[in-house]
Amino acid sequence: MSDYLDGLNDIQRQAVTDINGPVLVVAGPGSGKTRVLTYRIAYLIQQGVNPRSILALTFTNKAAREMKGRIEKVVGTTANMVWAGTFHSIFARLLRVDAPLIGYPSNFTIYDTDDAKSLINTIVKDLGLDKNTYAAGNILSRISGAKSQIITAEEYVSNATLRDQDAVVGLPHFAEIYKRYAARMKKAGAMDFDDLLLQLYILLNDFPEVLDKYRRRFAYVLVDEFQDTNTLQYGIIKKLVKYNGSKYNVCVVGDDAQSIYAFRGATIENILNFETDFPMLKTYKLEQNYRSIDAIVQAANEVISHNRKQIKKTIWTDRAEGPGIILLRALNDNEEAKRVVDAILEQKNRNHLRNSEIAILYRTNAQSRIFEEYLRRYNISYRVYGGMSFYQRKEVKDLLAYFKLSVNPYDDESLKRIINFPRRGIGDATIEGLRQIAVDNDISMWDVLQSDIPQVKSKKAVTDFTKMIQVFIKKLTELNAYDLAMMIARQSGVLVEYKKENSIDALARVENLNALLDGVKEFVENDEATPDEDTTSDKSLATYLQTIMLLTDADKESQDSEVVTLMSVHSAKGLEFKSVFVTGVEEKLFPSWMSYDVPDGIEEERRLFYVAITRAETHLTLSYANSRYRFGKLTYCEPSRFLDELSMIKTQLHAVPQSSAQQLSGVSGNFRPVKMLEKKNLVVDGVDFKVSPPDMVKEGAKVLHLKFGEGIVKKVEGGAGNRVATIYFKDVDDPERRIMLKFAKLQVLS
pLDDT for 245 equals 47
State mean pLDDT over 504-531.
Answer: 81
**CB hemisphere CA count around 74 (13 angstroms):** 24
pLDDT for 682 equals 42
**Per-residue burial over 683-702, b = 16 or more CB atoms within 10 Å of its CB, e = otherwise:** bbeeeeeeebebeebeeebe
pLDDT for 554 equals 35
Is residue 413 flagged as an active site residue? Answer: no
**What Å distances lie between residue 577 and 244, 390, 615, 616, CA to CA?**
43, 22, 6, 5
Of 138-142, 332-336, 382-386, 640-644, the poorest mean pLDDT is in: 382-386
Let me know if 170 is exposed, middle or buried by CB neighbors in 10 A (0-12, 13-18, 19+). Answer: exposed
H-state helical runs in 501-646: 504-525, 541-553, 569-572, 601-613, 641-644
pLDDT digits (tens, 9 = 90+) for 250-269: 999 999 999 888 878 888 99
Using alpha carbons, select from 346, 320, 290 the residue that is nearest to residue 665.
320
pLDDT digits (tens, 9 = 90+) for 128-163: 999 889 999 999 999 999 999 999 999 999 999 999
Q: Which of 98, 166, 194, 224 is catalytic?
A: 224
pLDDT for 529 equals 56
State mean pLDDT over 3-15.
Answer: 91
CB 322 within 8 Å of CB 295: yes
pLDDT for 663 equals 42
Is residue 33 flagged as an active site residue? Answer: yes
pLDDT for 532 equals 53
**Residue 438: pLDDT over 60:** yes
pLDDT digits (tens, 9 = 90+) for 689-740: 788 888 889 999 999 988 788 899 998 887 766 688 889 988 776 788 888 7
Work out whether the CA dihedral 489, 491, 492, 495 comes out positive or negative: positive
Q: How far apart are CA 135 and CA 368, in angstroms?
A: 28
Of 46-50, 223-227, 243-247, 444-448, the poorest mean pLDDT is in: 243-247
Q: Mean pLDDT over all residues of the chain?
A: 85
pLDDT for 185 equals 84
Is residue 319 flagged as an active site residue? Answer: no
**Residue 208: pLDDT over 90:** yes
pLDDT for 473 equals 94
Of 66-70, 245-249, 500-504, the poorest mean pLDDT is in: 245-249
pLDDT for 660 equals 38
Question: Band of the pLDDT at 652, cuts 50, 70, 90?
Answer: low
Neighbours of 233 (CB within 10 A): 23
How distant is the alpha carbon of residue 228 from its chain centre?
17
More confident residue, 193 or 742: 193
Q: Which of 14, 17, 18, 34 is catalytic?
A: 34
What is this structure's pTM? 0.74
CB 583 within 8 Å of CB 371: yes
Is residue 224 flagged as an active site residue? Answer: yes
State mean pLDDT over 488-502.
Answer: 87
**Residue 470: pLDDT over 90:** yes
Q: Which of 13, 33, 163, 723 is catalytic?
A: 33
Q: Which of 313, 615, 641, 723 is catalytic?
A: 615
**Residue 534: pLDDT over 50:** no
Question: Band of the pLDDT at 659, cuts 50, 70, 90?
Answer: very low
State mean pLDDT over 286-310.
Answer: 94
Using alpha carbons, select from 29, 525, 588, 576 the residue that is nearest to residue 286.
29
pLDDT digits (tens, 9 = 90+) for 61-98: 788 888 888 888 888 888 888 998 889 888 988 998 89
State mean pLDDT over 382-394.
Answer: 77
Q: How far apart are CA 505 and CA 502, in angstroms?
A: 8
What percentage of the chain reaches a pLDDT higher than 90? 50
Q: Which of 58, 86, 229, 258 is catalytic?
A: 258
H-state helical runs in 526-600: 541-553, 569-572
Q: How far apart are CA 662 and CA 676, in angstroms?
A: 5
Is residue 615 flagged as an active site residue? Answer: yes
pLDDT digits (tens, 9 = 90+) for 345-378: 999 999 999 999 999 999 998 899 899 999 999 9
